[in-house]
Structure 1
Amino acid sequence: MIYGIGCDLCAIPRMEKSLTGPHGGAFARRVFGPDEREALGLSEQAESLPARRIASAAANFAAKEAFLKAAGTGLAGPFALAEIQAVRLPSGAPAYRFSGRTAQWVAQRRLTSHLTLSHDGGMAMAVCLLESSDN
């Protein structure tokens, strides 16, 4: 049974400004979990990043907001953005990896998450589907 669906867009140039600005390292630590930071090559202070990594970071950010919408909480909810990680499986498919209160919340509700990502034309998007195993 579908628990919730969420969709979000993120402007890639806006993500580049956030990651490479004077507070880029703090932004990356607050928003992206350790697995994401490693996969994206986000260091403490990056002056520039490859375009592909910025687009992936924007898609990951959109994935976080899509999850919050599917969960029905929005940004005011009980979750830290870094607890909601968009990772890539060995096949290359995107998936969520949760930690902390977010992982507990998902487990308590017996939810399975599904994620799709895309980027083109300066925008990145994500769609999240939360599926409940309860009937």
Structure 2
Amino acid sequence: MILGIGTDICDVRRIEATLARKGDRFAEKVLGPNEMKVFHFRRAKVESRGVRYLATRFSAKEAFSKAIGTGIRMPMTWRSCEILNLPSGQPYIQLHGALADWFKARGLQAHVTVTDESDYAASFVVVETTHTP
């Protein structure tokens, strides 16, 4: 049964401007350790690919926080929720710490999709309960 749905659109130019102002501190606030590795790798190859990666992760975490109904407040934190990719490229959500415990205790499962174009990144998250009534 679907518990929540979240969607978000993010202006990539806003993320780019924030990175220009705050440097990597902004990326370090939003991205988990596995995401940071991908961010640095993509950014080293092509700056705009790194920025778009950060924008899609920012958007997906906003969408996830809406789907679970907490917003960005405990147990949801930016770094406790990572949006990673399977070898096929399919994105998935990896949770850590208190958020992972909270999510598991409720028997929840999440599905995520992300997309980006030159100026915008968007994401959609569906959270469902795996418990049967």
TM-score with structure 2 length normalisation?
0.89
Aligned twin of 1:90: 87
Task: Give unpaired runs (5+ residues) of structure 2.
Answer: none
CA distance in 2, matches of 1:71, 1:41: 29
The reply on whether 1:63 has 2:60 as its aligned counterpart is yes
Higher helix share: 2
CA distance in 2, matches of 1:24, 1:3: 37
* Aligned residues of 2:10 and 2:59 also touching (Cα < 8 A): yes
Secondary structure class of the residue paired with 1:6:
strand
Aligned twin of 2:96: 99
Report Cα offsets for 1:103-131 as digits up to 9, x if no partner: 11111111111000011251100101111
The reply on whether 1:33 has 2:32 as its aligned counterpart is yes
Determine what percentage of the aligned residue pairs are the same residue: 35
Task: Give unpaired runs (5+ residues) of structure 1.
Answer: none
Aligned twin of 1:12: 12
The reply on whether 1:131 has 2:128 as its aligned counterpart is yes
Report Cα offsets for 1:6-59 as digits up to 9, x if no partner: 0001110111122232x22221221110001101117xxx8xx62122112101
CA distance in 2, matches of 1:96, 1:76: 17
Aligned twin of 2:23: 24
User: Given residue 20 of structure 2, which amino acid in structure 1 is its aligned partner?
Assistant: T
Report Cα offsets for 1:42-94 as digits up to 9, x if no partner: 7xxx8xx6212211210110000000000011124432111111111111111
* Aligned residues of 1:110 and 1:134 also touching (Cα < 8 A): yes
* Aligned residues of 1:68 and 1:77 also touching (Cα < 8 A): no
Aligned twin of 2:3: 3
TM-score with structure 1 length normalisation?
0.88
